[in-house]
Each structure stands twice: as C-alpha cells, then as structure tokens.
A and B are shown apart, each in its own frame.
Chain A
Amino acid sequence: MGRYVIRRLLQMIPVFLGTTFIIFAMVYALGDPVAQMFGDRTPDPATVARMRHDLNLDKPLVTQYVLYMGNIFTGDFGEAFNGQKVTELMGEAFPTTLQLTLVAISLEIVLGIGLGLLSGLRRGKILDNVVLIGTLVVISIPVFVIGYLAQYFLAVKWNWVEPSVSADPTIDEMILPAFVLAGLSLAYVTRLTRTSIVENMRADYLRTAVAKGLPRRRVIGVHLLRNSLIPVVTFIGTDVGALMGGAIVTEGIFNIHGVGYQLLQGVVRRNSPTVVGFVTVLVLVFLLANLIVDLLYAVLDPRIRYA
C-alpha cells in the first residue's frame, strides 16, 4: 500500500510538467498582452519593446517556459497583471474557494447521499418520485439562472441574505453560493446513490444479511450503504477538482474573489503567470483527489487491494 502511494505520487511529476507546458503554450497562443494594455490608443514602439523585455516576451516560447519553470522552483510564480505576486493571489483565492468547495461538498454528501438513500429505500413511492423530478429540474436549469434567481429573490426581494459575499467571507455567507454551486452535483449524487441502492437491495449478500436476522440499521448502514457508495465516491472525488476550478460562474454572481475569478481575470488580461500558476495548483488538486478516491475504494470494498 505504501509503495503504491509513493508510486502514484511520483507519477504526478511528468503529468505536472506536461500540463504546465501545455497551459503555458496555450496562454502564449492567446497573443500579446502588451498591445492590449494601451486600450484603443496605438502604443509607442519603445515602451512596448521595454515591457516585452521585462516580461521575457521577446524570447522564444521554450526559453520563456524554461525561465518560468526555473522561477517556479525557487517559489516565484511571477506577477499578476496588477503587479501583485501570484503566490499572494493564490494565498487569498485558494482558501476562499476551498471554503466554498468544502461547504458545497458537505452539502453534496449530507443531502445528496441522504436523499438518495431515502428515495432508494422507498422506490416507487411519492418521496422517490418527488426527488427524481426535483433533481431532473435542477439538472436541466443552467447554473447562472439558478444563481441569479436565488440572488434576486432571496437577497434583493426578500432581504434574507446579502446579495454578495464580503471581502473576508464567513461560512454562513457561503451557504447560498455553495447551494448554487453544488446544485447540479447534488442532483447527480442523489440519483447515483439512489440507483446504486436500488441495485444492491437485490444483491445476494443483502438477502443473506437480512436472513441472518441482523438489525435493519446494520443491514442498511454497513452492508447496503457502504457497498453502494463506490460510484458516488468516485464522482465526489473528481467533483472536488471541478468545483474548485469551475466555480467561475458562481463566484462571479456572488462576488467571491476565488480561484475561478482570478483565472478568468488572468485569461481576460492574458497574464500567463496567473493562469499557469493557478492551473498548476488545480492540476495537483485533481491528481491528489483522484489518488484519495482510489485509496477510498480499498476502505469501502475489502475485495480491492493495492500492493
């Protein structure tokens, strides 16, 4: 098991190098950030040349990449468009987004698995149908519609919450954005859990457990739920990465200065240090989340072993 984890961690190095290079090349392909800084005014060539030189833009792509990576290994991720250090930006954005993601994931786990379990156990009953229709509705409405509607009615119309999140957000401010962010995944988790439960209800080992006369709590909690969770865990694991990087819409609506917003700014302003830096960290998050998911399989299913 230990060797397996170490091997997986080592595998991350080439993936890390490859992704950073691809991202770097793609941002490079977006074009020259300098001309854009002058707005509609035509820049004078001397100033432009000086700026390009300062940003290493006058060198070939590969040289730029090597210089950039050299800096990264000394802990220097470069500067964002407004002169702020990218590491500083990450230090502000990642905790904020992490907070949002954790609230969202908790909602997914508690509500998603809970509802899935209930409707799976009561298959065909009213509750099951309500959950199925409700999740279908959530899945079919785009996030920004839900976001703006929630903001308009809950905050502007009825004044229950503030429309935007403050600069140093607290957990309770994050609940509404987290609901909007998690909405889609929540629906998937619910449906996934429900299907899994329904399937396993007819499994032999469950009938055995019931026949043994085990108490219902134990049958459901240990035998049924634990075995039904494998696909759900896979989904939630990958969702952590997706939620952290893909919260652009939700972060925009609720004025959360997190990863998605900073990434978008980086792309709009063509600032490669911001984009590459943030994506690099996101790649690491994805890789580690996947590793954890794989390891969790062994916890949930005794038949799976890693050597």
Chain B
Amino acid sequence: MRGASSAKWVAMAAVVALAATACGGDDDKDDKGGSSSGGGIVSASWTDPQKPIEPANVNEVQGGKVLDMIFTGLMEYDPKTAEAKPAMAESIETKDQQNFTIKVKKGWTFSNGEKVTAKSYVDAWNYGALIDNAQLSASFFQDIEGYADVHPEAEGAKAKAKTMSGLKLKDDYTFTVKLSKKFSTWPQHLGYKAFSPLPEAFFKEHDAWLKKPIGNGPYKVDSYKKGTGMKLSVNKTYAGEDKPVNKGVELKVYTDFNTAYNDVMAGNLDVIDDVPAGQLANVDSDMQGRYINQPAGIVQTITFPLYKKDSWGTKDAIKVRHGLSMAINREQITDKIFSKTRTPAKDYTSPVLKTGGYSEDICGEYCTYNPSKAKKLIEEGGGIPGGKMVLSSNVDTGSHKLWMDAVCNSINNVLGKKDACTVNPVGTFGDFRDQITKREMNGPFRAGWQMDYPLIDNFLTPLYKTKASSNDGEYSNKDFDKLLDQANAEPDTAKAIKLYQDAEKLLVKDMPSIPLWYQNGSAAYSDRVENVALNPFSVPVYQAISVK
C-alpha cells in the first residue's frame, strides 16, 4: 500500500499549503460591488488614490474626484468658465489685501448632521498645515501668517506652534485670516479642495473617518472598499445650488483603462474619464459622438537648467532657447503622436483660464514653427552649448519617449545635424524627479504642470518666481518677481491679471522653459447617460449627469 501512505503525506502537505495561502481569506463584507448599476446611479471609472482621502493630502485627480463630490468649500470654480465664485462664503472682505474677514453661510451641515461653522474651516486648515500630519498639500497654506511656525522649512525641525497665528475665530460663522504679505487674489484659491471644512468626527475618530469620509458636498459616501470602488449617494442635507440630478455615483476601480473602455462599449460602465491612447484611433466610430476631448489645466514644457551657469545659464543661451522653441513643430507632433489629444501651446498658462489670463498671442512667433529663423537664432546665440543637447524625461508613462524623439528630430532637421539633440529616457518617474530636485540635470528636461486652481498666478508663481517651490530650472528675474508682487497687491482683478500677463511676457523674453502643448482631458460615455461634461480640472461634472 505504498501509494496510499504516500498519498496521505501529499494530502498533509497540501493542507499546510492551503493554510499558508488562504490565511486571512475573511468573509465578504456586506457591500457587494455589483457589476451594473441601475436606478439612476452613474457608474464611472476610477483608480485607487495614492493616499488616504483627506482634503489636504490629495494631490492627484483620482482622490480629487471624490473630494469634489463630497466637499464644498468657501469658493467653487464654475465648471464651464473656471471662474471662482462664492459657494459657502457669505462674504470675503478686505481693505488692505492682507487681512480678510470671512463670513460663512448658515444652514449648512455635514452629512452626519454636524453644523458647518467657521471653526470647521479653521480647524481643517490648521490640521492641513501642521508638519506632524505630513500632508501633501500643506504648502497651500503658506500664505497665511504663522505657517512657518507650524510647518518649519528645515528638515527635521519641530513645529513651534500647533495653530497658525493668522487664523482667528470671531464668532460661530465668522473668522479672520491674516496673510504674511499682500495677496489680492488669495480668496480665489479657496475653491481648491485643500481648503475644505472638516467635521469634528475627522479629529475624534480619524480612522473611521478615513474608512468612510464625511463631508458637506453634494454627495455622501455610502461605502468605500479600497482597491475595489466607492459608492456615493445624494447628500440630502446638501445646501448648495448644484444639487445632483442623478441618484448617486459608483466609482469602480479598473486595473486597465482599456477594460473600462470595453465596459463602456458593452454598456457595463457609464463614464470613462481618460480614454486610453490605444483607442483614440477608433473612439469616434465606437462612441458615435459620445466622446469629449478638450484642453485641460495642464501644460507641458521643456525646462532648462539655468543653474548651469556656463552652458544654459549664459546670456547668449537666451537666443538659443528661443531658436529651439521655434524649431519644434508642435502642430505636427500633437497631430501625429497624440492624435490631437494635446493642443499646441501659445502661452505659459492654459486655455481653461479663458477670461482669467489665457492669451493666444503672448508667446507669439517664439512658439510658432519657423525653421529658417530658428536656425539663425541658434547660430547667433553661439549654437547649442557644447554642441549637443540631451533631453530628459521619465518614460514610464504618457508616451514621453515618442514625443521626445519627435522634438529632437524636429530640432535636428532644422539644424541639419543628425545628433545635435538626443534623448535621455529615465526609467521611472521617481528617479526623474530625484534628479531634478537634486539639480543633477545637465540638459533640458520635461516639466509638466497641472494647475491647482484656475488662476494665472498658479501657472507663474510656483514655477518661475525666484526660489519658488517648483522652480526647477532656478530661473530668477527681479523684474518678473516685482511684477508678481504688484499683481498680488492689486485689488482690481482685471488689473491684476494684466500685471500677471506683463510678467508672463518677461518669461517669453527670457524663455526659461519652452511651452510645448496643453494636455487635453478626455472622456467617453455610454448611451445610458446624458449631459456629460468635464470641468477645468478634466474631471466629469458628476452632479449634472442625467441617467436616461
């Protein structure tokens, strides 16, 4: 009976194997993620946010979608015009552009019944700014006086205070904000979700809150299963105007957006808000018009390491930079490589700003393809520093290798040389960012900027002001800084925008980076839903989607 006794041992080893692999296979939770959602619920594609969903800790679009639905801040941005308008703010007043008195509307509640008061804002902002909480968007509070005490600059330094001295409660529905310096357009930042109010429950039962976030927005979270999806239903206590026309939203996590796309075609999913590149060729016939493709608040540029004083940082190099910009055939590249999902750039901002500072002719001829003049300018500037340039970017996402090759080809053709411009593909995004922050770049590199709020200031200050947080090329121009300061102190918005644009013109003159194109937001939807539109952040306006 050898066979039988061996079989016994096999069985025992199998038991060990099963015990090891199936451990923790706990029973399902009650919320079964159903596949097709009926009854007025809109289903939409999603991927897991990279951090737990807290207003000041979300800096990417997937977590941002949820914040958009469950929070309403003091201001909000019009989904069509991107204009900032009051939402929960009764009034925001200032006399000196530095001290603001904010009155909060009464009658708003969080979805757990708690009242939204001035304290909900002050506590939330102090939480977001405090270094101990290590929030990704802490720097959004840096204009408020006392930020340096709660969030010291130096590594390893401890916070000197728990709250910012610039925030003061006046009564239940009024608080004052003192900024560290004049900033007239500051109230328009308040539509950014990092400035959302937070209920007491957030501070008292933090873990429970993270599992099921509670906000004051048009929707409330019914269930959230990490890695699988989130179900939201209409928040009945929502006091805002843009009440949802559907009964709820179901966000479904997809491993691959091609699958989500196929699900839309098969009628299994209603909205996909990022059409995969591989489907662009056939999206028109597949969706029969149910496809949106419009510029987003994202601009891609090539930034120069101006900290390399003897090569790219010289005076002559300005002409070379201008020449290189004119040597790039933007139209052809956006057409051929991106199937028109990028729009050639004409300035340093984005078309989503519309009346807020976008201009089609700020960059002018310097952003227009002109091979003969390009060659002339580069030669006048003494040619490419060192005779050769290497263009760097991470290549793990977004067809960066393809367009970099195209840009280099374009430049090489103009110069009539084979290897004047070559490409340096960096394996991962993390590595690429490491090299940039350590200032290790010897040649130009890709820089993408996604706006935080639809204001021209957001496209200029963080990127080009001397020593600004994301000024990776270390551009510095005193006149530029001065114009920005003037614009910030200017109470009249139209005049302020004009001053920002004047500053932008200096950028064109110095060209610390070459604007390439605006990235487009895309979405496709099933024939079950109507009124799908993208807001300035390229996120679908979920409230407005109606189910047939």
Contacts and interface: CB of A to CB of B under 8 A. Distances in A.
A31 B153 contact: no
B17 to A, nearest CB: 4
A205 interface: no
Interface in A1-22: 1-2, 5, 9
A172 B135 CA distance: 44
A41 B469 contact: yes
B25 A91 contact: yes
B59 interface: yes
Contacts of A148: 258
B255 A89 contact: no
Given A2-B9, A168-B28, A47 B136 contact: yes
Interface string A5-48: 10001000000000000000000001111011111111111111
Nearest to B4: A299
B263 A41 contact: no
A288 B255 contact: no
A265 B227 CA distance: 10
A225 to B, nearest CB: 14
Interface stretch (B32-40, B104-112, B412-420, B535-543): B32-40
Interface in A58-94: 81-84, 87-92, 94
> Secondary structure at chain A's binding surface: helix, strand, loop or mixed?
helix
A40 B469 CA distance: 11
A142 interface: no
Contact of A39 (B7, B134, B253, B450): B450
Contacts of B173: none
Contact of A288 (B6, B20, B227): B20
A304 to B, nearest CB: 9
A295 B9 CA distance: 7
A269 B470 CA distance: 22
A251 B259 CA distance: 10
A254 interface: yes
B133 to A, nearest CB: 9
B268 A292 contact: no
A162 B266 contact: yes
B21 A82 contact: no
Interface string B7-45: 101101110110011111110100011110000000000
B437 A35 contact: yes
B303 to A, nearest CB: 11
B447 A255 contact: no
Given A44-B139, A292-B14, A299-B6, A166 B33 contact: yes
Interface in A254-285: 254-257, 261-262, 265, 268-270, 281, 284-285
Interface stretch (A115-123, A152-160, A186-194, A196-204): A152-160
B138 A31 contact: no
A47 B21 contact: no
A41 B430 contact: no
Given A46-B154, A82-B52, A148-B258, A295 B13 contact: yes
Contacts of B22: 94-95, 98
Contact of A281 (B21, B265, B449, B450): B21
Given A1-B9, A45-B154, A166 B134 contact: no
Interface stretch (A49-57, A104-112, A124-132, A133-141): A49-57
Contact of A47 (B26, B138, B430): B138
8 contacts: A36-B429, A151-B262, A164-B260, A262-B227, A284-B20, A284-B21, A288-B20, A295-B6
